[in-house]
Each structure stands twice: as structure tokens, then as C-alpha cells.
Amino acid sequence: MRLKKVVFPVAGHGSRFLPATKATPKEMLPVVDKPLIQYAVEEALEAGFTELIFITGKTKRAITDHFDQTLEIGVSNMTDKKKQLFDEMNNIIPKSASCIYIRQGEPLGLGHAILQAKPVLGDEPFAVVLADDLIDAKPGVLKQMVDRYDDSNTSLIAVEKIKKADSIHYGMIEIDSFNKALANIIDIIEKPDPVDAPSDFGVVGRYIFTNQILDYLAKTNVGTGNEIQLTDAIKSMLATNNVSAYEFLGTRYDCGDKLGFVKANIEYALKNNDFGVELESYLRNRLT
């Protein structure tokens, strides 16, 4: 079945980024001039997804507003550059794609958030994107994964090598060995202490699931952090289904974390056509 549906869980609190996220969704924090959620949406559109399902919640209205066509283009003396910017803003979502917003009424975690999409997912496979994992990659990581999924029809999870000391922030996997960037997942555990981490590969926020994951999510009890964990549902699914780890090509920035977010801004700003060169010379002077 062709992959059309992608879920963006955006109801999380962003507590690692307070006070910025007290009233502003963490997904609306900008890297240079675009909010994180727009990078995530553009990655999904590039990969061919056409049904964008946002699981939203309290204080997240700005995300819904962002993808509306609300800007008046009636200003007569606008420069061509401004006009182009306005056009781009009003065409983030092409006519061929649609946005669906579902509220997660209770903050019960990532697994619970994804389960809220069940009525619109039907029996189709789908992707999940966590927007605070910003990944600089060409092609984008979702496109890389869709190409692999077409080959295998097995659920796919993006992973990367992380410092073992950081395992407390990730779903950590046990795998056999990688072959062309893919490995079978044998076990998965949510945010273990470093001594309990089964490898140094951590899960990054890109997933493609066969529809069975929804049955496992529905049966998953509250786990780590008093939340219904996606990782626990994946672990149950491993008993009956193959799930593969995909070591993606690209550079990931953890933008739910202040330092990761600042690094992303520096890197994306250095690549900016208008001021990248000037920024580089500023940084060089600043650091000598």
C-alpha cells in the first residue's frame, strides 16, 4: 500500500526549553527563519506524503495557524522579493496535500498521541515525524526511508550512534549487524541507564510503521515517565513482526534541547545565501 499518511505528534510540553515554550509550541521555534514544524512538513512532502496528521493540544494553536493561508497580499508597493516570500508562505502546503488536526486531550505521551490518529489512519501504513529532531539531509530522511520501505514492507525506525551516556534520552535498540544501513531490531528499551543500553544506537524521530503498530499501541500500558510509550508498543510488536533499524544519511540536531537548537541555528545560518558569508567572518573574528 502506498504511503500517504504522516503523523506529527506536536502536543508535547517542550519542558526542556522553558521558559521559551511556556506559551509557544516548541515546534514553532525558528531555525533561522522557519519553524521546526515547517522543516518537518517539507521533509514529508518531499517524500510524497499527502495526508498530514497533526496531533495537537493545549497552547499549540500557532501550529494550526501557521499552515493556513492567512496573509493579505493586498499591499501594492511590495518589492518582488517580498511578493515571492508571501507566495512561498501561502504555498507551504500544496493543493495536492491536506492537513488534519486532532487534539490529544490528555498528556499521556507519544504512544497515546499516535493512537489518536487511528480513526484517520484506517488500515494503512504511515510515518511518524518528531519535529524537534531536525535532520539536515539530501534527500531528506523520510524520502530515504520511503525508498527502503518500498523494498521491504517492514516497519522502519531511524537510528544513529549516540554517546552511551546519553541513552537516558533515547529509545535504545539491540540489533544484529547492519547490511546496507539496515539491521533487524531484536529488542528496544526506552531511556535506559547507560549500563542497561543494549548498544550505542539510539532512535531518532522518524518512523515508518505497518498498521499493526496500532493494535500494539492500544494494548500498551503506561510506562517510563508515566506515559504510554511508543517504544513499549514496538517492543511488543517485535514478537510477531520484523522491525528494521535504518542508519540514515544526514546530520541530526536535537532541537528540543537548547544547545542542539543553537547548533542548528548556527549551521543553517552559515548556509544562508543572504548572510552566511558575513556570519562566518563574524564568528571567525569573534573566536580569534
Residues in contact with ligand G1P by the rule CB under 6 A = 110, 130, 133, 170-171, 190, 202-205, 230-231, 256
Grid coordinates given for 196: 542497561
Q: How far is the CB of 38 from ligand G1P (least distance, A)?
A: 18
Residue 222 DSSP symbol: B
Single-letter residue type at 268: Y
CB under 8 A, 24+ apart: contacts of 93-97: 93/41, 93/45, 93/52, 93/67, 94/45, 96/50, 97/45, 97/49, 97/50, 97/51, 97/52
What span, in angstroms and rounded, lies between the C-alpha atoms of 21 and 254? 15
Phi/psi for 18 (5° steps) reads: -70, 150
Residue 281: exposure state from Cβ atoms within 10 A (0-12, 13-18, ≥19): exposed
User: Residue 279 corresponds to which cell in the numbers above?
Assistant: 556570519
Burial environment of residue 96 by CB neighbours within 10 A (0 to 12, 13 to 18, 19 or more): exposed
C-beta closer to ligand G1P: residue 97 or 135: 135
Query: Which residue number places its CB atom closest to ligand G1P?
Result: 171
Place of cell 492567512: 70
Q: Which is nearer to ligand G1P, 29 or 204 (CB)?
A: 204
Least Å distance, CB 234 to ligand G1P, is 9
Q: For residues 27 and 133, which CB has a smaller minimum distance to ligand G1P in the complex?
A: 133
34-37: long-range contacts (C-beta < 8 A, 24 or more apart)?
Answer: 35/66, 36/131, 36/132, 36/134, 36/255, 37/8, 37/10, 37/63, 37/66, 37/131
